[in-house]
Structure 1
Amino acid sequence: MRAPIVLLHGWACPASYWNPVAGVLREAGRQVLNLDLPGYGAPLEPDFEWTVENVAAMFALELSARSPVHWVGHSLGGSIAVTIAARYPRTTASLTLVGMVPVAPSAAAEEKLRRLFGGPGAPDEDAAEEMLAAWFRGGEEPLDEDRERFLAPFRLPPAVVRQSMEAGITGAAEDVPGLVTAPTLVVTGTRDGTRTPDAVKEFLLGHPDWQHELVTDAGHMVHWEHPKACAAAVLRHIRMAEGQMPPELGAARD
């Protein structure tokens, strides 16, 4: 049986934003698991410490019976996925990072997040709208009927929003990228302001074995804005990792 594909969503994002990509992957005959991060589905356990390392360990244990799997993570989910691939290599058939590479956010981005969402209370609607405007820089903001989908996670318990935000700011540990041995693909948009094309390119210079696909006219939500292109990149990468196609027909380098 072929390894399943596991999708991990980002901070303050709905797991359902993977649905368009998941649909394409399932049509290709793949088993897809679309997981909620802690607190985004079931309530947090009272003593749960929300860190990238803890969530990575939790998912690695939960998926151990299905291992190895193809991990696909967006943004914070990418930090978790790359940490799993590094710390628990036996769980990992391949790794795909969407809208991110594992580097720390800029000081300006960190300041903005703490200003908007670092307080003890629930964030207001204007703060959530500001984040959506930054994420959908490709000009494809969610349609009216989908806007509630993207606003809903900001209304989760403030502790969940704040703690997972801190995990997103911290990101993957510095040693993690160098420990990844699984085939790795990065999928980013040309208009992503959270991980700019220049920042992505600079990071990948130090990781020449990692593949990269750059999607034109996409922002941070590349998988929502261009789900067919994102899914096609994931499938090419997975098939290459499974030995079904030669590297020269796989993901393109920029």
Structure 2
Amino acid sequence: MRRAGPARGLPVVVVPGMLCDASLWSGVDFPGGHDVHHVPLTEPDIGALAEEVLATVAGPFVLVGLSLGAIVGFEALRRAPERIAGLCVMSANAGAPRPEQYAAWRAMDELIGAGRFADVVEQTLPDMFPGRRPAPEAARRYRRMAHAVGPDAARAQLAAQATRTDAEAALRGARCPTVVLSGTRDSLCPPAFHRTIAHAVPGARLRELSDAGHLLPWQRPDAVTSALGAVLAAAERDEPSAALTPAP
């Protein structure tokens, strides 16, 4: 992450996905003049995490969320829509959990409780990358980040996942400039999920990124930078999503 110049614009609150930390955004060029705040996911409840997001800054802000971070953002939007001045969503699902997801999260939690956190990291790794076959260095990078997050936070994140609810009603109430980014080869959150999100938010712009997987800030930092710049510019002008300049 890079930022230059004194803060003068809307603050940016950045929320990562499960087993991700601030290093996820290291290649994203955040526009200068904006305070950037990273919110770690350490509470076992989506509502509590949304309250942490809302307490990070005073007044309106632009929210950037990936996967579980975007789900937390949807709840923050439901609770305080007047605070969300702009929204950049990626690699996300606005639907309620499915039965098979509850079962998978319970199984992961049991593995971590048995001291097998490394097995959970390996289990989640393929779904982070296009084709589920990461290059060796990409796999090593993910393992480093996930192990830095650690088993305690991972268990809290699994518990939080189970408290999710359907977010479409909250999204329909959004009136802020919004960009939705989707990797066309995201096996965890496929493009159809993002079409649902973009359709729910009035005027949202959807970008489907070819040959990209789940971790878009690593795989397409240029697209994330461009989307964030468009949202910030529209939010600073207090314009609706329809005023967004299409990203290249």
Tell me the TM-score normalized by structure 2. Answer: 0.81
Change (3 A) 1:248 1:71: closer
Check conservation: 1:95, 1:184, Cα contact below 8 A. Answer: yes
Unpaired runs of at least 5, structure 1:
40-48
Cα deviation digits, residues 35-85 of structure 1 (max 9, x gap): 24253xxxxxxxxx6211111112212312xx2111101111111112212
Change (3 A) 1:235 1:152: same
Counterpart of 1:31 in structure 2 is 34
Amino acid in the other structure paired with 2:38: L
Amino acid in the other structure paired with 1:55: L
Cα deviation digits, residues 109-158 of structure 1 (max 9, x gap): 4433332334533434232112111111255555366244323146332x
**Distance apart, 1:108 and its partner CA:** 3.9
Counterpart of 1:19 in structure 2 is 26
Amino acid in the other structure paired with 2:198: L
Distance 2:121 2:66 in 1: 18
Check conservation: 2:13, 2:53, Cα contact below 8 A. Answer: no
Q: Which moved more, 1:206-215 or 1:180-189?
A: 206-215
**Distance apart, 1:33 and its partner CA:** 2.1
Equivalent position to 1:171, from 164, 168, 171? 164
Unpaired runs of at least 5, structure 2:
1-7
Once the two structures are superposed, the pairs formed by residues 74-85 of structure 1 within 5 Å of their partners are 74-85=66-77
Counterpart of 1:90 in structure 2 is 82
Distance 2:191 2:71 in 1: 18
Amino acid in the other structure paired with 1:111: A
Cα deviation digits, residues 194-239 of structure 1 (max 9, x gap): 2211232244334452221111111110111111111111111221
Amino acid in the other structure paired with 1:31: H
Amino acid in the other structure paired with 1:60: L
Counterpart of 2:12 in structure 1 is 5
Classify the secondary structure of the residue corresponding to 2:156.
helix
Counterpart of 1:249 in structure 2 is 245
Q: Which moved more, 1:88-97 or 1:105-114?
A: 105-114
**Distance apart, 1:186 and its partner CA:** 1.0
Check conservation: 2:172, 2:200, Cα contact below 8 A. Answer: no
Check conservation: 1:85, 1:182, Cα contact below 8 A. Answer: no
Counterpart of 1:45 in structure 2 is none
Change (3 A) 1:7 1:228: same
Residues paired across the two proteins, number:
235
Equivalent position to 1:155, from 128, 150, 175? 150
Once the two structures are superposed, the pairs formed by residues 215-230 of structure 1 within 5 Å of their partners are 215-230=209-224
Distance 1:57 1:153 in 2: 24
Once the two structures are superposed, the pairs formed by residues 1-254 of structure 1 within 5 Å of their partners are 1-21=8-28, 24-25=29-30, 28-39=31-42, 50-64=44-58, 67-119=59-111, 120-137=113-130, 140-141=134-135, 142-143=137-138, 146-153=141-148, 155-157=150-152, 160-174=153-167, 175-243=169-237, 247=243, 249-251=245-247
Change (3 A) 1:124 1:56: closer
Check conservation: 2:174, 2:202, Cα contact below 8 A. Answer: no
Amino acid in the other structure paired with 1:149: R
Distance 1:35 1:251 in 2: 24
**Distance apart, 1:105 and its partner CA:** 4.5
Amino acid in the other structure paired with 1:192: D
Distance 2:220 2:54 in 1: 29
Change (3 A) 1:126 1:79: same
Change (3 A) 1:249 1:166: same
Distance 2:238 2:26 in 1: 25
Identity %: 23
Change (3 A) 1:242 1:191: same
Distance 2:238 2:51 in 1: 30
Classify the secondary structure of the residue corresponding to 1:188.
strand
**Distance apart, 1:3 and its partner CA:** 0.3
Tell me the TM-score normalized by structure 1. Answer: 0.79
